[in-house]
């Protein structure tokens, strides 16, 4: 009888832990101040040799209208042979975030095609790039520091005792 009660208690504890873990992993991002999100991304990535892009370049590279987004920031390499990019976007809806993700996928595919055959390092960076959509927030980073930028991005959206917000 004690054994059966102990087993039932273990199963109950396991079920509670599973529900908690699921809740943590599927939590909605916190409403973030876009300027803080941008600042943290800038600190996580070396933007030396990069320029902050304007709305015209956002439209040319991604087909996105900056005026339709709640907030955005784009950095691109000053060197035409480099593929480093960082795009942060705050969308007005999750549906718009999905449209932005599709534009990012198209940009990455185009860049891989452009550099295939003669730019193996550029292709590797593009293949290792990080694209993250969390609620209305979107991140696209092509950089050796992509992981650090993602951690900073998640840390702003999911603040807490864990610190880096590894969701």
- The label of the residue with tokens 């590797």 reads 124
Residue 25 in domain: no
- How many independent structural domains does the chain possess? 1
- Domain membership of residue 19 (yes or no) is no
pLDDT in tens, 7-66: 765 655 565 454 444 444 444 566 889 999 999 999 999 999 999 999 999 999 999 999
Q: Is the residue at 61 inside a domain?
A: yes
- 3 within a domain of the structure (yes/no): no
Q: Which domain holds residue 146?
A: 30-157
Tens of pLDDT, residue by residue over 86-144, are 999 999 999 999 999 999 999 999 999 999 998 999 999 999 999 999 999 999 999 99
Rounded Cα gap, residues 154 and 158, in angstroms:
6
How much is the pLDDT for 12? 55
136, 76, 131: which is closest to 104 by C-alpha? Answer: 131
9 class by beta-carbon count within 10 Å (0-12 exposed, 13-18 middle, 19+ buried): exposed
Q: Is residue 99 part of a domain?
A: yes
């Amino acid at each position: 009888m004690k054994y059966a009660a102990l087993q039932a208690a273990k199963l109950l504890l396991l079920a509670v832990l599973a529900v908690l873990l699921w809740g943590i992993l599927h939590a909605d991002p916190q409403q973030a101040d876009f300027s803080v999100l941008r600042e943290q991304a800038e600190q996580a990535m070396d933007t030396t040799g990069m320029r902050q892009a304007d709305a015209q370049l956002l439209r040319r590279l991604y087909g996105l209208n900056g005026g339709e987004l709640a907030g955005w920031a784009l950095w691109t390499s000053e060197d035409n042979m480099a593929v480093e990019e960082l795009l942060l976007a705050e969308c007005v809806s999750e549906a718009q975030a999905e449209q932005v993700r599709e534009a990012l996928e198209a940009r990455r595919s185009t860049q891989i095609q452009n550099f295939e055959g003669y730019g193996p390092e550029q292709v590797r960076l593009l293949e290792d790039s990080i694209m993250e959509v969390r609620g209305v927030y979107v991140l696209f980073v092509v950089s050796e520091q992509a992981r650090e930028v993602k951690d900073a991005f998640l840390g702003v959206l999911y603040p807490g005792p864990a610190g880096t917000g590894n969701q």
